[in-house]
Amino acid sequence: MGLRCCRHKHSNQATTEENTQAAEIERRIEQETKAEKHIQKLLLLGAGEPGKSTIFKQIKLLFQTGFDERELQSYTPVIHANVYQTIKEDVLHARVRTTGVVEIQFSPVGENKKSGEVYRLFDVGGQRNERRKWIHLFEGVRTVIFCAAISEYDRTLFEDENKNRIMETKELLEWVLKQKCFEKTSFMLFLNKFDIFEKKVSKVPLNVCEWFKDYQPASTRKQEVEHAYEFVKKKFEELYYQNVTCDHQDRVFKIYRTTALDQKLVKKTFKLVDETLRRRNLFEAGLL
Ligand X SMILES: Nc1nc2c(ncn2[C@@H]2O[C@H](COP(=O)(O)OP(=O)(O)OP(=O)(O)O)[C@@H](O)[C@H]2O)c(=O)[nH]1
Footprint on this chain of ligand X (rule: CB under 6 A): 46, 48-54, 92-93, 95, 97-98, 125-127, 147, 192-193, 195-196, 259-261
Q: Which does 108 bind (CB under 5 to 8 A by kind): ligand X, Mg ion, none?
A: none
Q: Which does 193 bind (CB under 5 to 8 A by kind): ligand X, Mg ion, none?
A: ligand X
What does the H/E/C string look like for 191-245? EECHHHHHHHCCCCCHHHCHHHCCCCCCCCHHHHHHHHHHHHHHHHHHHHHHHCC
98 binds Mg ion (CB under 5 A): yes
Size of the site for Mg ion (CB under 5 A): 3
Give me the least distance between CB of 75 and Mg ion, in Å please: 13
Nearer to ligand X, 34 or 264 (CB): 264
Nearer to ligand X, 257 or 278 (CB): 257
Residues 172 and 46: beta-carbon distance below 8 Å: yes
Give me the least distance between CB of 218 and ligand X, in Å please: 23
Give me the least distance between CB of 156 and ligand X, in Å please: 15
Give me the least distance between CB of 70 and ligand X, in Å please: 20
34, 56, 29: which is closest to 120 by C-alpha?
A: 56
- Return the residue of 44, 47, 53, 143 that touches Mg ion, per CB under 5 A: 53
Beta-sheet pairing, 118-124 with 101-106:
antiparallel
Nearer to Mg ion, 108 or 125 (CB): 125
116, 100, 96: which is closest to 108 by C-alpha?
A: 116
What are the φ/ψ torsions at residue 114 (nearest 5 degrees)?
A: -55, -40
Nearer to ligand X, 149 or 206 (CB): 149
Query: Residue ranges for the binding site?
Result: 53, 92-98, 123-127, 192-195, 260
Nearer to ligand X, 200 or 280 (CB): 200
Give me the least distance between CB of 98 and ligand X, in Å please: 3
Residues 167 and 211: beta-carbon distance below 8 Å: yes
Residues 119 and 42: beta-carbon distance below 8 Å: yes
- Coil, helix or strand for 40? strand
Query: Residue ranges for the binding site for Mg(2+)?
Result: 53, 98
Rounded to whole angstroms, the Cα distance separating 148 from 83 reads 25
- Coil, helix or strand for 79? helix
Binding interface with Mg ion (CB under 5 A): 52-53, 98
